[in-house]
Amino acid sequence: MGDRPRKVLLIGYGNPGRLDDGLGPALAAEVEQLDLPGVTVDSDYQLTVEDAAAIAQHDAVIFADAAVSGPEPFYFERIEPKPALSFSSHSVEPTAVLALAEELFGSSSPGYCLGIRGYEFNEYDERLSERARVNLAAAVKFIISVFRTGNFDKVAAEHQSWHRRPAGEPGARAACTASSGDA
């Protein structure tokens, strides 16, 4: 995708009640406040099948999630549709939602994953760890620049190169591959 997509959907997901798992919604909240033109912001505990309908109404979608491992402060990469055999409300993966958007609504909108590195997940508390907050700030700054420059694929390729991680490398994507906690 070379030109800036006209309508972009940003979905920040995770459970703010599980510490750093709230990084996705926290990013969504910060970006929403900026009221960026052409950017629709949504947040939820986890992805759901109806997100497919929303994706089909946009030119691109960015999934923002907490990453339990992987590069700091975040990674950004293109993801491809991958149908899932089964859904539950607890675990719909971004690749599966993209596939649903394609199959049910004829969408060809590209998807991107922004995985923000978190560190603390196993307590019931509504706060981000100190290090996660630093990563969040970097991710917000980054995503604003992505929206401004507009060439999502180029940015994703550069970012991947920067982290020297081959696409799809096992363990490279800790976010955007599984529900990272639910309510």
Residues that bind another protein (CB under 8 A): 15-18, 25, 42-46, 48-50, 52-53, 83-91, 100, 103-105, 124, 178-179, 181-183
Nearer to another protein, 21 or 59 (CB): 21
Q: Which of 40, 36, 79 is nearest to 56 (CA)?
A: 40
Closer residue to another protein (CB): 123 or 169? 123
Q: What gap in Å lies between CA 149 and CA 179, rounded to an integer?
A: 30
Shortest Cβ distance from residue 35 to another protein (Å)? Answer: 17
Residue with tokens 């550069």: 158
Judged by CB, which is closer to another protein: 116, or 155? 116
Region of 177 (left: φ > 0; alpha: ψ -120 to 50; beta: rest) is: alpha
Residue 23 and residue 136 in contact, taking contact as beta carbons nearer than 8 Å: yes
By beta-carbon proximity to another protein, the closer residue of 27 and 156 is 27
Minimum CB separation of residue 13 from another protein in Å reads 9
